Amino acid sequence: MMKTLKKLFLLQLSVLMAVCLTACSGGKSGGSTEDPSAKTVKIGVLVSDTTSAEALAFRTYYKDYIQSVYNVEFMYSDELKDAAAEQSAIDNFIANNCQAIISFASADRPAQIEKCEAEGVYYAVATGTLPADQYEKYKSYEHYVGAIGPDLPTEYQAGYDMAKHYLDAGYTKFGLFTGASVYFTEMHIYRAAGMLAAMCDAGGGSYAGKTGMDIVGQIMADGGNVNPGKIGNIEINGVVAGYDFDDAWFGKLAAVANDPNVEVLMAVGSGQTAFAGFKPEGKKLGDIDCYTKESVELMESGTLDYLAGKFSASIGPAFAATLSAVYGKPIRDKDGNALALAQGYWVATSAEDAKKYYEVDSSTTNPAYTKDMLDTLIGASYDDFAKFVSAYSFEEIKK
């Protein structure tokens, strides 16, 4: 009896092992024909900002649109304040079987890239690009997908164009909010430098002896500060920086906004928070930020009259490139290097423009970059991908 039972048990065990082996081998041999999109892809998203309008718009695009049309699941980090927190968040993503990471956090990008490469997890930068030296170092990493977003020359140009808009209209007296320039945030320094460069070109002078891109170095040398003064016949009569959000900071903003020697207020970001509440009627306000319900209302009321904004779907191509890599179709140039593509802003100089942009930008059913558009990027050639990204203007996208 015992012998029979033993035989039966061994037989069952053999059958079970055979089934397991068949299942395993079947999975492997079927890999080439299996639809990769059948399996949910988990993607970790590193964020250093969870409350700004721009960050919320990006999140809405991924969570409410992309996640509803693709078989992907986004896992967001907490608000990451430093490099250690970024590393910890990556560990958490890996522990949760994320196959890729898209980063909006930049405390220590090299460390993020190195860690993802070591762990075999795909990594992409969603808004912005790597500095040239970092790109040279990481462009051939197998798991580095690339970076797509406004590069620093684009940031410089955004500031330049905004200042030029007012200079061309004949304004000569400015008040500036330079945001995180004092924290050495390159994006804000380049935007501020662009504004000053436009003033140099229009006013026929220089800023501390510098013109053009050289102004970037001057701002860096001054600790991220922009100093009031004259550039030819153009006057900068007040500058506020930082994000202190205390009474003294608000007091300084109010003083610049109400200075009778200021005609135009320009902000490298958050101008609507910084200046809009203090600005008397008749003064102009320009900002580089994103499109929100509030910004449209401010443009309709005339409080804000120039807005260069990132559009939330601009992070779509970074997602498509990442998904393509996960599906085994990484997008590389002819030398096998990762993506490094620049995108620009949508510029609104009227309430109608802002409203039109916001309607598209806030849509969770028909956003600027839809699934049909992004599908063309999965497995695309580098050149086709680059062509798609470079056609970022509202008119080109909605053509």
- Residues at the interface with other proteins (CB under 8 A): 50-51, 53, 56, 78-79, 245-248, 250-251, 253-255, 258, 272-274, 276-278, 292-294, 297-298, 301, 303
> Which CB atom, from 204 or from 251, has the smaller least distance to other proteins?
251
> Which CB atom, from 294 or from 333, has the smaller least distance to other proteins?
294
- Minimum CB distance to other proteins, residue 396 (Å): 28
Task: Scan for tokens 């995180």, then name that residue.
Answer: 180
- Minimum CB distance to other proteins, residue 120 (Å): 30
- Minimum CB distance to other proteins, residue 106 (Å): 19
Q: CA 86 from chain center: how many Å?
A: 17
> Which CB atom, from 298 or from 331, has the smaller least distance to other proteins?
298
- Minimum CB distance to other proteins, residue 72 (Å): 22
Helices and strands (H, E) in the chain, number of each type: 17, 13
> Which CB atom, from 233 or from 350, has the smaller least distance to other proteins?
350
- Minimum CB distance to other proteins, residue 8 (Å): 58
> Which CB atom, from 31 or from 277, has the smaller least distance to other proteins?
277
> Which CB atom, from 79 or from 142, has the smaller least distance to other proteins?
79
Left, alpha or beta for 277 (phi > 0: left; psi -120 to 50: alpha)? alpha
Question: How do 122-125 and 173-177 pair as beta strands?
Answer: unpaired
The structure tokens listed for 124 are 């992409």
CB of 306 closer than 8 Å to CB of 287:
yes
**Dihedral, CA atoms, 187, 192, 197, 203, nearest 10 degrees?**
170
> Which CB atom, from 47 or from 145, has the smaller least distance to other proteins?
47
- Outline where 169-302 has alpha helix (H): 186-203, 214-221, 247-257, 271-274, 293-301
How far is Cα 39 from Cα 293, in angstroms, rounded to an integer?
A: 36
The structure tokens listed for 101 are 């990471």
- Minimum CB distance to other proteins, residue 387 (Å): 34
- Minimum CB distance to other proteins, residue 304 (Å): 9
- Minimum CB distance to other proteins, residue 285 (Å): 10
> Which CB atom, from 89 or from 116, has the smaller least distance to other proteins?
89
Please list, in sequence order, all residues whose beta carbon lies within 8 angstroms of the beta carbon of residue 101, skipping any fewer than 6 positions away. 43, 44, 45, 46, 90, 93, 112, 116, 121, 122, 123, 124
Q: What is the DSSP string of 261-272?
A: T--EEEESS-HH
How far is Cα 112 from Cα 102, in angstroms, rounded to an integer?
A: 10
- Minimum CB distance to other proteins, residue 33 (Å): 43
Please list, in sequence order, all residues whose beta carbon lies within 8 angstroms of the beta carbon of residue 182, skipping any fewer than 6 positions away. 223, 224, 225, 241, 242
> Which CB atom, from 39 or from 81, has the smaller least distance to other proteins?
81
Burial class (CB in 10 A: 0-12, 13-18, 19+), 259: middle
